Amino acid sequence: MTRGTALLAIAGVVLVASAHVGSPDTYFEGAAGPYLVRVMIRDPGVVPGLAQVTVRLLAPYAVRRVLVLPVYWDPRTAAPPPPDVAERVPGDSTLYSAALWLMSSGSYSVQVTVEGQAGTGAVLVPVLAVATQRLALDPRLGAALLALGALLFVGALTLVSAAVKESGLEPGALPDRRRTLRSRIAVALAAVVLALGLVGGRAWWNTVDAAYRTGLYEPFHATATLRADGRGRVLRLAIDDTSWTNPRRQWTPLIPDHGHLMHLFLVRDSSLDAFAHLHPLPLDSATFEAALPPLPPGRYRLYADIVHESGFAQTLVTTADITLPAATWRPSDPDDAWIGDTEERGTGAVSKLADGSIMSWQRGAAPIVVNQDAPLCFVVTHPGGKPAALEPYMGMAGHAMLTRYDGAVFVHLHPAGTVSLAALETFALRQPGDTVRGLLGARLTALEKGSGERGAVPDGAGRAPVEHRMEPLLAPSSLSFPYAFPQPGRYRMWVQVKRGGRILTAVFDTDVQSAR
């Protein structure tokens, strides 16, 4: 596919929800052994489809070659195919790119291997292969195909005419009236047959198209309800999707992602001035409950992130009307946090945090443009300007949630990018024997419980077998997220960090411009 058709393909698509909402591409930053890399995987939108992978070396390492390889989640798969060598992008000594086929629907990870002077290092980047879009037919291609079709149609009728009228005659003989008449009848009949064939072809195409549309990926259906009990307001989220509640479901079970089976985000509709990040506890595999913080009343958009044992990450989307009066809040999970007084904190490049410290967005002067690396770097300082130390919040320096004002985009980012770390763990820990559902999940859960709060702690405590856990903070008071905005428009972003045992939420607004 040429670059031109690729752009057309992207321009003509209808985007629907994927893991995350309206943001199907994968961004990852981490260490491939001794090499720090940023990996971007552009979602093909169809399965089987070709995913564009770019690998950027975050320092001018002496690198021999960069290899990429798709790994499918199913433990029954045999040895993987040979990896692809990513080509160095001309004019940029740290950028490599390759195109990988993702052949089956489901969870994959792309193994990026860097070979260089400092040795060989590899890292896994989870990615989902789901059909999320249908390509529209470019009018120019449509016109060209129509013209060729018309030529073939008329040509076929001419062939029938010649076959009946002339082909049976000895060379030189002229067709008599009977032959001419017969050829006309044959042409009329052939026109009917061909027209029927075209109608049948169109019906076939429509059937394929309809089947494809019904097969497009949609996250599980979920419903939120609110009730008051003696201790306060309780939010219940039920996954009421028959593909999940069916006891003979095909899905693998859920696994915890940094210690929680579900990360639930509430965003007050339209004004976006209230936000909560909760971790509902499971009552069963389809029902989750959390104590609701004293959010102001109104309609809220709910986004629930879950991860399957296969590494398949979903964002369930629903809404809830919060009408009950606020009551005292005893968080059902110590990692739960909320913010309701956004406007007082400021939404420019500087945001005041609840403990008096300040988070500044080092966004630079350049406009933020769709599909270009966004400078999501933040520094936390004391009011006097001194750097303020951060504590790990759920195993990492911070979390960023961003949404477009109209809700068309919602993403949950980590310093490692858009990927689910639980998905990453499943790929790192999976063994060929993990054919029984739940086996790998149980191992992962035991690991989570055993090591507790760990990972991005600067002193390297709680070292775990997965490389991303060693991902360093750039400095104990700053954090960054690799990402590029998928669509233009006005966005709000919540950045959460932990200091002094408190979870602090900063709020920023930004405009994202279309690429020119």
Partner 1 sequence: MSLPLDARPGGRIPWHVAAVVLAATSAVIGVIWDISWHRSIGRDTFWTPAHLAIYLGGALAGAACGWHVLKTTFAGTAEQRAAGVSFWGFRGPLGAWVAIWGAIAMLASGPFDNWWHNAYGLDVKVLSPPHVILALGFTAIQLGALLLVLSLQNRAADAGRRTYGLLLAFGAGIVLQNLAIMGIEQIGFPNAAHNSLYYKVAGAAFPIVLLAVARASRLKWAATTAAAAYLAISMVMIWVLQLFPATPQLAPVFNPVTHMVAPPFPLLLVVPAAALDLLVQRLGPGRDWRLALLGGVTFLATFLVTQWFAAEFLLTPPARHFFFGVDQWDYSSQLGPWRYRFWRIQADPVTVRGMAVAASLAVASARLGLWWGNWMARVRR
Residues that bind partner 1 (CB under 8 A): 1, 5, 9, 46-49, 69-72, 74, 76-82, 101-104, 108, 131, 134-135, 137-138, 141, 144-145, 148-149, 151-152, 155-156, 158-159, 162-163, 165-173, 201, 204-205, 208-209, 212
Q: How far is the CB of 418 from partner 1 (least distance, A)?
A: 21
Q: Which is nearer to partner 1, 311 or 455 (CB)?
A: 311
Q: How far is the CB of 185 from partner 1 (least distance, A)?
A: 15
CA-based nearest residue to 373, from 54, 60, 83: 54
Answer whether 313's CB lies under 8 Å from 305's CB. Answer: yes
Rounded CA separation 159/155 (Å): 6
Instruction: State the pairing for strand pair 106-116/119-129.
Output: antiparallel
Q: Which is nearer to partner 1, 61 or 72 (CB)?
A: 72
Give, as one character, the DSSP assignment of residue 325: P
Q: How far is the CB of 65 from partner 1 (least distance, A)?
A: 18
In terms of Cβ atoms closer than 10 Å to its own Cβ (0-12, 13-18, 19+), residue 320 is buried
Q: Which is nearer to partner 1, 156 or 286 (CB)?
A: 156
Rounded CA separation 267/493 (Å): 11
SS3 state of residue 82: coil
Q: Which is nearer to partner 1, 172 or 247 (CB)?
A: 172
Q: How far is the CB of 429 from partner 1 (least distance, A)?
A: 18
Rounded CA separation 48/105 (Å): 8
Burial string for 462-492 (b: 16+ CB within 10 Å, else e) reads bebebbbbebebeebbbbbbbbbbbbbbebb
Q: Which is nearer to partner 1, 149 or 438 (CB)?
A: 149
Q: To 10 degrees, the CA torsion angle through 483, 485, 486, 492?
A: 120
Q: How far is the CB of 95 from partner 1 (least distance, A)?
A: 23
Q: How far is the CB of 203 from partner 1 (least distance, A)?
A: 10
Q: How many CA atoms lie within 13 A of 258 on its CB side?
A: 25
DSSP string, 265-295: EEEETTT---EEEE-PEEEETTEEEEEPP-P
CA-based nearest residue to 375, from 351, 398, 349, 352: 349
Q: Which is nearer to partner 1, 2 or 242 (CB)?
A: 2
Cβ neighbours of residue 172 under 8 Å, at least 6 residues apart?
Answer: none
Q: How far is the CB of 306 from partner 1 (least distance, A)?
A: 23
Q: Which is nearer to partner 1, 141 or 470 (CB)?
A: 141
Rounded CA separation 361/351 (Å): 8
Rounded CA separation 262/484 (Å): 25
Q: Which is nearer to partner 1, 206 or 362 (CB)?
A: 206
Q: How far is the CB of 431 from partner 1 (least distance, A)?
A: 16
Q: How far is the CB of 73 from partner 1 (least distance, A)?
A: 8
Q: Which is nearer to partner 1, 197 or 465 (CB)?
A: 197
Q: Which is nearer to partner 1, 212 or 362 (CB)?
A: 212
Q: Which is nearer to partner 1, 175 or 340 (CB)?
A: 175
Rounded CA separation 7/381 (Å): 42
With helix as H, strand as E and coil as C, how does 341-397 read? CHHHHCCCCEEECCCCCEEEECCCCCCEECCCECCEEEEEECCCCCECCCECECCEC
Cβ neighbours of residue 174 under 8 Å, at least 6 residues apart?
Answer: none
Q: How far is the CB of 439 from partner 1 (least distance, A)?
A: 19
Q: How far is the CB of 265 from partner 1 (least distance, A)?
A: 31
